[in-house]
Amino acid sequence: MGFGIVLFGFGQVIVHAIAFNIKLKYFYNPGMVTVLFLYLPLNVWYLVEVYSHQTVLLWNWAAGFGYFAFFSAVLIMWVGFTLLTDKNSPYPFAPEELERWNPRGHRARLGLPENSAKG
């Protein structure tokens, strides 16, 4: 199961250090320092250790990829972003919370329409 976590960590590196920066057209984003200085070194170290002890088999990679795919697709994407989403929630965000980090300015910088919630 360690491979699933390592694959998830490499996925985080790709998302936080590359994809978000391209999408936001910005050099830094929250999470980038964590993935570059925590996830990436630990993941590389893990792989070096397991390969140096010759404890890796093909089924380890297969099980790890299966775990990673299940965790990412089902638990994060489906449960987190679909099942638990309620646009009519009795607990909406306060307007001052939504405006705290100047989303209108960011949308304008990215050339997005004023009412765009997608980035």
Tell me the pLDDT of the chain averaged across its residues: 84
Q: What does the DSSP 8-state code read for residue 25?
A: T
Give the C-alpha distances (Å, rounded to integers) separating 109 from 20, 23, 25, 98. 15, 12, 9, 17
Query: What pLDDT is attached to residue 1?
Result: 61
**Which parts of the chain have pLDDT scores under 70?**
1, 115-119
Per-residue model confidence as pLDDT tens digits over 95-116 = 777 777 777 787 788 787 776 5
Angle between helices 40-52 and 2-14 (to 10 degrees): 140
Structure tokens at 33: 């320092």
Query: What pLDDT is attached to residue 49?
Result: 92
Domain layout of the chain by residue ranges: 2-110
Per-residue model confidence as pLDDT tens digits over 24-34 = 778 888 889 99
Whole-model pTM? 0.65
